[in-house]
Structure 1
Amino acid sequence: MPQRPDGTDGTARLPTFRTGRGRRAIDAMVGLLVSRGIFPRSYLLTTTGRRTGRPLTHPVTPVESDGRRWLVSPYGQVSWVHNARASGRVSLQRGGRTEECTVRELGPDEAAPVLKAYLAITVPPRRHFRADKDAPVEAFAAEAADHPVFEILPIR
């Protein structure tokens, strides 16, 4: 089997992300701190459930560079990803301020540098990636299928 740019054959199993009681408790605590503006890089991301119509909120750490922002799904095809794809809209909240945005999903080549930048600013999700934070940007193009990336576009 040919090797990927990250030096692996791409068959390594990644840990499965599960939302359990412990994860929900951590997200609730982080969410409280983010809503008060305590985590400077994090936001609360709210999407509308594509089936239920109910708002669903999750803490996220966007990648920011040169006045542009992106959302990365470190845990794969999770609910907020499906909801953002379905509606094309999200809201971001931090420190009492809410911003309504549209989102545009990136292709693998466009997502690769964003995924690399994401691993440089956050540590816990690294185990869910095959490419190491120091791998060349080409290694991250293969990660795009497992880690969707969306550009955040403010509604004006």
Structure 2
Amino acid sequence: MSTHAVSAHVRKPGWFTVQVLNRSVAWLTRRGVSVWGSRVLAVRGRKSGEWRTTPVNLLTVDGRRYLVAPRGHVQWTRNMRAAGGGELHLGKHVEEFTATEVTDDDKPAILRAYLKRWKAEVGIFFDGVGPDSPDTELRRIAPDHPVFRITAAN
């Protein structure tokens, strides 16, 4: 779990992101086409127990895989904390996994790698911090961006 109290900092995506980008990426990913590491995350709702899905970017750093929440403490991150894992879908391939939340102190290198790969897509959610920003800036924003290390269940 995060070493800092959970912030209420959440950035809502704009209309174009929700209606066009997310839907397009999810549509392609459901058909087996990964767009820059995209997957469809399925995680059980913490209250309903129903499966909830959202497109995510799967990041690999030093052989470990991570899910980063660029928009902050959103529903899928709350559900992930409660469920402790979920499924990643790419077409018909489904991978079950367990998730461990990364501490804020361990996030800078992961956030840097994430921004290096997807800044054009999600940079607006990082308050001007980019892949070339100093570690102090990455640590400053770390509490606002949950990161989960994922491990295949089998």
Alignment-derived partner of residue 11 in structure 1? none
Q: Which runs of 5+ in 1 are unaligned?
A: 1-13
In structure 2, relative to structure 1, the CA distance for the partners of 1:37 and 1:107 (3 Å cut) is same
Distance in 2 between the 1:102 and 1:68 partners? 13
- Could you tell me how far 1:25 is from its partner in structure 2? 5.2
Alignment-derived partner of residue 151 in structure 2? 153
Could you tell me the TM-score, scaled by structure 2's length?
A: 0.83
1:75 equivalenced with 2:71 (yes/no) = yes
What percent of counterpart residues are identical?
33
1:134 equivalenced with 2:132 (yes/no) = yes
Contact 2:42–2:53 under 8 Å retained in 1: yes
Alignment-derived partner of residue 33 in structure 1? 28
Distance in 1 between the 2:81 and 2:19 partners? 23
- Could you tell me how far 1:57 is from its partner in structure 2? 0.6
Equivalent residues in 2 for 1:7-156, closer than 5 Å:
16-18=11-13, 23-24=18-19, 26-38=21-33, 39-122=35-118, 123-130=120-127, 131-156=129-154
Could you tell me the TM-score, scaled by structure 1's length?
A: 0.82
* CA displacement 1:59-80 (0-9 Å, x = unmatched): 1112102321000000001000
Distance in 2 between the 1:15 and 1:127 partners? 12
Q: Which runs of 5+ in 2 are unaligned?
A: 1-8
SS in 2 for 1:142: helix
Distance in 2 between the 1:141 and 1:60 partners? 22
Distance in 2 between the 1:61 and 1:153 partners? 15
Distance in 2 between the 1:22 and 1:115 partners? 21
Question: Over aligned residues, Cα RMSD in angstroms?
Answer: 2.1
Alignment-derived partner of residue 3 in structure 1? none
Supply the AA of the counterpart residue of 1:98: V
Distance in 2 between the 1:128 and 1:22 partners? 12
In structure 2, relative to structure 1, the CA distance for the partners of 1:99 and 1:15 (3 Å cut) is closer
In structure 2, relative to structure 1, the CA distance for the partners of 1:22 and 1:114 (3 Å cut) is closer
Supply the AA of the counterpart residue of 1:29: S
Look at both structures and tell me which one has the larger radius of gyration over its CA atoms.
1
Distance in 2 between the 1:54 and 1:19 partners? 26
